[in-house]
Amino acid sequence: QLIKLINVLNSIAEKRKVLFPIHPRTMKNLTDFGLMEKINKNLILTEPIGYLDFLALTSNAELIVTDSGGIQEESTYLGVQCITLRTSTERPITVEVGTNQLLGTDLEKAKKVALEVLEGKLKMGTIPELWDGKAAERITEIISKKLFNN
């Protein structure tokens, strides 16, 4: 699967620069399996990135390819195209109304969809209802009503 993933990322890197924050264990596997010399020059490998830097990068990204759950939320909120390489999601709203496409583990399909996104075939999405940053206000209102109106 790692070889297939590198092939997909290399295909995307032929069209755009790709930033790949990579876990140290995965980096070791790339080295151990002799895959480092197969990396496209536009595929930039980096150590894992802190959350604020990640958000800055995400907000300026054209496309995210991930197997992470949380990134689906950030990409939907920021309106960034997201391809999720999983068979299910804990955040189905990101697929239903957001910019996330749940593609399973078929990397050839992921490559096809990624290249289509880069050619302008976008999944239009909206920010889900209640993702307005006002959860604390709503919670405070509910608690206040329960405490003071009974």
Each residue's pLDDT tens digit in the chain (150 positions)?
899 999 999 999 999 999 999 999 999 999 999 999 999 999 999 999 999 999 999 999 999 999 988 899 999 999 999 999 999 999 999 999 999 999 999 999 999 999 999 999 999 999 998 999 999 999 999 999 999 986
Residues of the domain holding 46: 2-148
Here the CATH number for the domain that contains residue 130 is 3.40.50.2000
Task: Determine if residue 120 is left, alpha or beta; phi over 0 gives left, psi from -120 to 50 gives alpha, anything else beta.
Answer: left
Predicted pLDDT of residue 14:
96
- pLDDT value of position 70: 84
Total number of domains in the chain? 1
105: tokens are 């583990």
Neighbours of 146 (CB within 10 A): 9
State the residue for tokens 């006002």.
134
For 144, the enclosing helix (H) or strand (E) is helix 135-148
- Quote the pLDDT of residue 69: 82
